[in-house]
Structure formats: C-alpha cells, structure tokens
Amino acid sequence: MITSADIVANIAAIQSRIDAACKLYQRRSRPTLIAVTKTRSAAEITTAINAGISDIGENYLQEALDKQAELSVQPKQWHFIGPIQANKTRAIASHFDWVHSVDRAKIITRLNDQRPPELAPLNICLQVNINDETSKAGAAKDAIPQLAALVLQQPQLRLRGLMAIPVNTDDIQQQRHNFAALRSIFTDLQAKFPSAVLDTLSMGMSADMEAAIAEGATLVRIGSDIFGPRPSPSR
Ligand SMILES: *Cc1c(COP(=O)(O)O)cnc(C)c1O
C-alpha cells in the first residue's frame, strides 16, 4: 500500500516535471494539476489536498459522491472526467464544478436544465474522440462545432474547451501528434466563436504529460504517478 509520505513525494515530483516541461517547451502559463482519484480512498485524497492539490478528478459518480461526503477538507474544484449516463446528469450537475467528458447533445441540455440555479455555471469541456476509436467515448471531430454552439446557448453552462484521451503509445512524437490534433480543433473553435472564453485544453495523463504540455495543455489529469498503479486495469 502507498503511504502518505509517498503521495506527498509523488506530488512534489509531478510538480517538478510540470515545471521542467514548461521550461523546456517555453510555456508561459503553467497547467493546473488535477489529481485523478478513482479507486483511491478519502484518506488518500485528504493527503493530496493537504499537499497542495486544489483540483480533484473522479470518473464514477457514486464513488465520487461517497468520498465527497466523507471528506472533511474539500478541494477547490471537483472535476467529473468519466463516461456520463443520462440518468446521472442531475447529480453530476449538482456536485461538480467541471465536466470534461461531454460528448452529446442530450447530456448538454440535461446538465444545463439540472444545474442548480444558486450555483455558478458548470464549466464544460467537450470530449473529442481524437483517434476515431470505435470503442472510445468522445464526439467525432466534425461534431464539435455544433456541440460547442449548443453549450454556448445554455445559461447554466460555460464552455471552456476540449478534452481527449488519445491512444496509448510510448512514442512521444506520436503522443505530440495526437495532442497537436486536439489543439488544432481547439484553435478552430476559438476562431469560430471569438466571443466565447475558450481557455482550456484538458490533456495529458501520467504516461504522456510532457507531450501534452509541449502541445499546450492547460489542465493535466494525473492518477497513477501520484497514487501508484490502480488495483484493477479496467479502472
Ligand atoms: C484515470 C484517468 C486519468 C489518469 O490516468 P493515469 O494514467 O493514472 O495518470 C486521466 N484522465 C481520465 C479521463 C482518466 O480516466
């Protein structure tokens, strides 16, 4: 089992990797580190928050709600990053600050209609299926402008940008190629909707964080390099 000291040391190591990549790739603004905590305990999340983590990402609604209720210290922002079932949108709209995995119209209108009016608008990233994998979540590239227009019409949603989970590869050039493709869709979107505040590229996980930073990531989502390998490969 991973100890608290390990988690604290791993977070410091990731922050140094982020700094080094920003320097190497001459990034002027530093991406925000989201600690991805699926399968991790409330105690482990508390350790991460106490070590300075401001943003927590979760994939599974019920698991996230249980841990949110258990925590005595909350992060600044909760990010929902997992697949979204339509019958879960009310709880997602009520208990998160960001949703990164929005990929269809029905989810967009439900999140808007179900976002509690007393809360600030929900921050939205559209998930792009960047390698056109049939098995993967995310909208096709060609569907993105229309979905973006729909999000922009919703008063309780705020479109921030795009998210992707590219194919797994160790080849950093291939990783960069995939992230550059997402960035290109993003800059097209910025040009198409000049009055929208599109400032977010959510890309980069433990194995490809540096490539994502090279290509302009503003949010990186890191799990195993903070908390160790996950118990089951499917989660
Ligand atoms: C699990 C997960 C991560 C973190 O992956 P690691 O390889 O453990 O860093 C990031 N983003 C999403 C959407 C995930 O499901």
pLDDT value of position 235: 44
Tell me the average pLDDT across 49-60: 98
Residue 21: per-residue pLDDT: 98
Query: 104, 139 in Cβ contact below 8 A?
Result: yes
Print burial letters for 203-222: b (CB count within 10 Å at least 16), e (below 16). Answer: bbbbebbbbbbbbbbbbbbb
pLDDT at residue number 134: 83
Residue 91's pLDDT band (cuts 50, 70, 90): very high
Listed by start position, the domains of the chain span 4-227
Q: At 232, is the pLDDT very low, low, confident or very high (cuts 50, 70, 90)?
A: low
224/183 Cα distance (integer angstroms): 25
What is the percent of the chain with per-residue pLDDT over 70, rounded to a whole number? 98
Mean per-residue pLDDT, 8-25: 98
- Cα torsion for 58, 129, 16, 222, to the nearest 10°? 20
| Pocket flag, ligand 1, residue 146 (CB < 6 Å) | no
* 40 C-alpha to ligand 1 centroid (Å): 12
Mean pLDDT for the stretch of residues 108-122 = 98
- Which of 205, 208, 210, 219 gets mutated to test ligand 1 (max ligand atoms within 8 A of its CB)? 205
Ligand 1 centroid to residue 201 C-alpha, Å: 15
The gap from C-alpha 145 to its chain's centroid, in whole angstroms, comes to 20
- Quick check: pTM over 0.95? yes
Please, are residues 167 and 176 in contact by the beta-carbon 8 Å criterion?
Answer: no
Average pLDDT over residues 82-108: 98
When pLDDT is averaged across residues 56-73 and rounded to a whole number, the result is 98
Note the Cα 70 to chain centre separation in Å.
22
Closest ligand 1 atom to residue 207 Cα is 7
Q: Which helix (H) or strand (E) holds 126?
A: strand 122-127
- Output the furthest CA–CA distance in the chain (Å, rounded): 49
Rounded to the nearest 5 degrees, what angle is found at the Cα of 33, between the Cα atoms of 30 and 107? 110
Ligand 1 neighbour 36 (Cβ under 6 A): yes
- According to CATH, what is the number of the domain 4-227? 3.20.20.10
Ligand 1 centroid to Cα of residue 194, in Å, is 31
pLDDT at 136: 82
Closest to 189 (Cα-Cα) out of 138, 151, 155, 136: 151
- The pLDDT assigned to 233 comes to 54
User: Is residue 189 very low, low, confident or very high in pLDDT (cuts 50, 70, 90)?
Assistant: very high
Is it the case that residue 234 has pLDDT exceeding 80?
no
Q: Tell whether the model's pLDDT for residue 164 goes beyond 50.
A: yes
Cα–ligand 1 centroid distance for 235 (angstroms): 9
Interval between CA 222 and ligand 1 midpoint (Å): 6
